Structure 1
Amino acid sequence: MVPEGWKLTTLGEVCNGQLQTGPFGSQLHADEYTTSGIAVLMPKDLVNHRATINSASKISPERAQDLKKHTLKVGDILFSRRGDVTRFALVDEGARGALCGTGCLKATPSEEHAPEFIAYFLQKDAVKRWLEQNSVGQTMPNMNTSILSELPLMTANSRQEEEKIAMILSTWDKMINTIEQLLANSQKQRKALIQQLITGKKRLVRHEKSLGYKITSHGEIPSDWEYPMIREVCSQISEKNGSGADYPVLSCSKHEGFVDSLKYFKKKVYSEDTSGYRVIPRGCFGFPANHIEEGSIGLQRDYDIGIVSPIYVVFMADEEKVNNEYLYALLKTEHYRQIFSAATNSSVDRRGSLRWKEFSSIHVPLPPLSEQNKIASALATADEEIEKLKNKLDCIKQEKKALMQQLLTGKRRVKTEDKEK
């Protein structure tokens, strides 16, 4: 149902047919790009629905003059022509004067419509599905101006109403951006805190006098810390799910650690027969031997017993010597990811795997257990703050999505100056 004064239309009608393909490779050769000059926007430069020239390729002003019909104005909308055809961006002042590059399509809304409103409408899930379903190409999705011009849209009663709707939604975007910045800062601070704590540069215990530092193969650590090999404080677990019990099948991701495979992938990606899978009890560590160099190592916190693929190495730490959360934070650092990568590359295993023998030979800095506990507690506090920000961000995004559904379909109307008069 279309609200009074609103109209079902297409992108082609909204733009009065002003859709254009960027220059083809035959018109703009790779050897013409320079490190300075006029920016040429490619699909990679369409970030979060905004056109950015920060890392864009450039061509000389003289060559740009030859391609001036591709020059971008504020309010133009760029679309990716191949690959992720749902990718688009609104051109603002920051990208004014750049060129629509190879791999992009340009649409120019008429003056009757607010480009910001059109850009918000293009964020709708229904629009993304339409673009995916109507793309062409067998090996890679492709879009062209003919198809794009048929993209269904709904426009408001007037440009003023569209601008008011866009202004309301932009306020929500500002809130989202603020929280995203707070989240990024918190994550950055946590990373710096970990680095200080696991190297002893920041101590959470007081000493009457400085104890100094000692040199290890991986840098300086406090002289009162131990520096054992992993096998000296951890032991491997090799138990298999011989009975084929229906335990949760877990996978390890780079950023999230262990996840329930079925829930995470939303489909079954593991074998029907799990009798050969390894058992991983709660509080144990595990990693896929052929992917640990990517940082894929996890601590199993969610189930009393889970199972993992036979390619995983499973181990547990000595609770009298090691705080699991401290060790986990240590092993998830970029420093240890590089150590794992180096150990994998030097392994005699030609399959590019890191087995327990080589992994357990790696050394770790180990403070007294009481200090490990304090470090783990400090990191938990930081994690709680990050989790709160993530939850808040998710909530606001969902609220914005619901508001978009109402405003962009006219189910909720806004007052404009004309109506108020």
Structure 2
Amino acid sequence: MKKEGYKETSIGVIPDDWEVLKIGDILKIGSGKDYKHLSEGNIPVYGTGGYMTAVSDYLYDGESVGIGRKGTIDKPVFLKGKFWTVDTLFYTHSFTEVLPYYVYLLFQTIDWKKYNEATGVPSLSKVIIESIKIPKPKLPEQQKIAKILSTVDAKLENITQQIQTTEQLKKGLMQQLLSGKYNVLENRPYTNEELKDSSLGKIPKEWEVVKSNEAFELIHGYQFREHDFVDEGCPIVKIGQINMKGKLDLTNCSFFSLNRSQEFTDKEIKNGDILMALTGATLGKSCLVEGLLYPVYQNYRVGRFEPKNKEGLDKKFLFYLISSPLILKQIFAKINSGAQGNIGKNDFEKLKILLPNIREQQKIVTILRTVDTKIEQLQTKKAHYTQLKKGLMQQLLTGKIRVKV
């Protein structure tokens, strides 16, 4: 039974004073174009992946919502001012009794993949977009809803910027601290008198250049096959479980039988272990395992790193070392170009690395862990506001909760 003041419509229950319209009734859709005939300038060019370049002319000037025509079709973007869009990104214009920002919010609630017209690369057409029905309150209510949600969007944008800034800070710190540019024990740069010549250039006198195979070992997991998998049992960590944030994500794991766990004791992953994806979309991504509450096991294309001299190499320092741009740049330079890159033991063989003494290693770890903690706090905060926005959109854009105008 619907509440008083609400009505049943083709898109569900909405307030009595709201309308059900097609997208084509409230706006027009423009097509992106090639920009290569234009000169360089200060007009941004956008595609489905975001900003691409800047050119001398514009396709549209004003507030608009971009939606992917091909490729990424489910990530609407809010555009304003002068801009150009390429062929893969539609833009909207000629709005009728509707705020562009409100349209942007509405577009975020639409399941665009449901309207995909292609079997290969996802695609949308103007006709399909224009035919989608949406609920529309009057302008004053749109303005109030947009103001509430734009405040949350501004907060999310600010947090995202803080994350990016902190990640850049971490990158710079790793560059300085792991290359011997800064004396962390005395909180100052090294002087020329404190440096010596080495095969890797000038380094602190107390630091060593060692071959990676003398310092640590890369251990592959077990090559589980399809017939090994069961519905429930021991979780298997695959490359997909090492996510882009450097965390171990144990959702959507595969399993093997509990009865076979004794076969793979040497492949059990423990807290404090260092893992790296050796192939696939997360190639080179690594994580320091923390917070495990039950045994998990290592698949073949997941690498595990172990120090050979545990007194001379702090394990957490090793994690930062193998995930640093200094090491990854050397590793990726060795990978054969092809459809999918792979990293193996041979890529780490005889790789030269810099090692400070254990006290300096531990101090470097403390500094970088502090920055990592800050990033994690910001990511948690972002997740909170993302969830808050999602909940508000579900309530406000359907009229389940009304705003006072």
**TM-score, scaled to structure 1:** 0.76
Distance 2:396 2:357 in 1: 58
Aligned counterpart, 2:47: 43
- Supply the AA of the counterpart residue of 1:102: D
Aligned counterpart, 1:140: 121
Distance 1:389 1:224 in 2: 36
Aligned counterpart, 1:149: 130
Aligned counterpart, 1:80: 68
Asked whether the 8 Å contact 2:274–2:305 carries over to 1, the reply is yes
More strand by share: 2
- Supply the AA of the counterpart residue of 2:118: G
Residue 404 (structure 2) pairs with residue 405 (structure 1): no
Residue identity (%): 22
Residue 350 (structure 2) pairs with residue 330 (structure 1): no
Distance 2:144 2:281 in 1: 51
Aligned counterpart, 1:419: none
Aligned counterpart, 1:308: 298
Residues paired across the two proteins, number: 375
1:187-226 → structure 2 map (5 Å cutoff): 187-206=167-186, 212-226=194-208
1:19-418 → structure 2 map (5 Å cutoff): 19-22=29-32, 33-36=37-40, 41=45, 43-44=47-48, 47=50, 55-56=53-54, 71-95=59-83, 98=84, 101-124=86-109, 127=110, 129=111, 131-156=112-137, 158-206=138-186, 212-235=194-217, 247-252=234-239, 253=242, 255-257=244-246, 259-260=248-249, 263=251, 266=252, 268=254, 279-282=267-270, 283-287=272-276, 289=278, 294-303=283-292, 306-317=296-307, 318-345=309-336, 354-356=343-345, 359-416=348-405
- Supply the AA of the counterpart residue of 2:199: S
Shift in alpha-carbon separation, 1:118–1:307, aligned structure 2, 3 A: same
Shift in alpha-carbon separation, 1:212–1:290, aligned structure 2, 3 A: same
- Supply the AA of the counterpart residue of 1:107: T
- Deviation for aligned residue 1:390: 0.9
- Deviation for aligned residue 1:153: 0.8
Distance 1:169 1:120 in 2: 8
- Deviation for aligned residue 1:137: 2.3
Shift in alpha-carbon separation, 1:378–1:162, aligned structure 2, 3 A: same
- Deviation for aligned residue 1:145: 1.9
- Deviation for aligned residue 1:279: 0.7
Provide the secondary structure at the position in 2 that maps to 1:365. Answer: strand
Deviations 1:301-330, CA, capped at 9 Å, x for gaps = 454754223345544113211111111111
- Supply the AA of the counterpart residue of 1:412: I
Residue 15 (structure 2) pairs with residue 3 (structure 1): yes
Asked whether the 8 Å contact 1:186–1:386 carries over to 2, the reply is yes
Shift in alpha-carbon separation, 1:37–1:407, aligned structure 2, 3 A: same
Shift in alpha-carbon separation, 1:22–1:179, aligned structure 2, 3 A: closer
Distance 2:399 2:363 in 1: 54
- Supply the AA of the counterpart residue of 2:104: A
- Deviation for aligned residue 1:231: 2.6
Distance 1:383 1:140 in 2: 37
- Deviation for aligned residue 1:387: 0.8
Distance 1:312 1:364 in 2: 22
Unaligned runs of 5+ in 2: 1-12
Shift in alpha-carbon separation, 1:409–1:181, aligned structure 2, 3 A: same
Distance 1:308 1:201 in 2: 36
Distance 2:222 2:94 in 1: 62
Shift in alpha-carbon separation, 1:180–1:91, aligned structure 2, 3 A: closer
Shift in alpha-carbon separation, 1:19–1:192, aligned structure 2, 3 A: closer
Distance 1:410 1:239 in 2: 52
Distance 2:16 2:329 in 1: 61
Distance 2:172 2:187 in 1: 23
Asked whether the 8 Å contact 2:322–2:328 carries over to 1, the reply is yes
Shift in alpha-carbon separation, 1:367–1:279, aligned structure 2, 3 A: same
Distance 2:280 2:369 in 1: 26
